[in-house]
Structure 1
Amino acid sequence: MNRKKSRELAMKLLFQMTINKEDSSKVIENLKENQETESNKKEDTNLKDIDMDYLVRVLKGVEVNRDLIDSKIQNYLKKWKIDRLSKIDITILRICSYEFLYEEDIPKNVSINEAVELAKVYGEDKSANFINGVLGSMIKDVNKA
């Protein structure tokens, strides 16, 4: 299983949940149904490399704890309001913040690195630096706790 691919798929699905206002159960159900009908035609939809336990934990975890996660993120936004961030940036920040708070087996530096890499691919020009700054500030306080 590939955690990087799992995290990327989690980001895509969480983004979908945000845009379409869907719940995690529906998104996961659709993913599994589409996988069966696609017959692995596309490499990025191939679930054999995906850590489904992680994927479900992240989607449900962000969904259930969204208010807390968003308030944590808001604490580290300088001169920004969370509702002004791009949907991609907030999705990436939510995943990493969830990992900081609830996934003790994932090193925090790995979470940040993966978040920055996702931002480079899916975000805007300055997204990676912005996300790195927010998460860098957040990790200092998380490590103190």
Structure 2
Amino acid sequence: MKRRLARELALQALFQLDNHEISIEEAIGHVTDDHDAFLTQLVSGVVEHKEHIDASLIEKLENWSLSRLPKIERTVLRIAIYELLFTEETPAKVVINESIEICKIFGDEKSSRFVNGVLSKYTTQS
């Protein structure tokens, strides 16, 4: 499975987890029959590190609260921030570009610009 598809499926699986009392495996099973390691890593990683990811995100948001963010943007940001903070295999520019493209598919033009603005703060500060 290509990583873009894994990220898109991770978004969908995380939506399942936000809306239903199910396991990570069940959420992934609702969006694909494929047992992809990267997809599982993304979903599990976001769930496991959600508090840390959200705390980091709150620091970067300007004039927004986490609860006010639309679900698409919030979930895309969580996936991207997980990758930026907890994995080293994908360059930050790739993570940001993939996140923008996913927002264009599932959100709108405003979504992609907003996500780009937030994620760019992760590359300008160490």
TM-score by length of structure 1 reads 0.80
What is the number of residues matched between the two proteins?
Answer: 126
Match of residue 16 from structure 2: 16
Contact 2:10 2:28 in 1 (8 A): no
Q: Secondary structure at the match of 2:41?
A: helix
Amino acid aligned to 2:2 = N
* Runs of 5+ unmatched residues, structure 1: 36-46
Give me the CA root mean square deviation: 1.7
Match of residue 67 from structure 1: 51
CA distance in 2, matches of 1:29, 1:119: 23
Contact 1:69 1:98 in 2 (8 A): yes
Matched, 1:53 2:37: yes
Moved more, 128-137 or 19-28: 19-28
Larger radius of gyration: 1
Identity of paired residues, percent? Answer: 35
CA distance in 2, matches of 1:64, 1:125: 30
Contact 2:7 2:39 in 1 (8 A): yes
CA distance in 1, matches of 2:84, 2:23: 22
- The correspondence for 1:80, drawn from 36, 39, 64, is 64
- The correspondence for 2:79, drawn from 95, 110, 114, is 95
TM-score by length of structure 2 reads 0.91
Q: Secondary structure at the match of 1:126?
A: helix
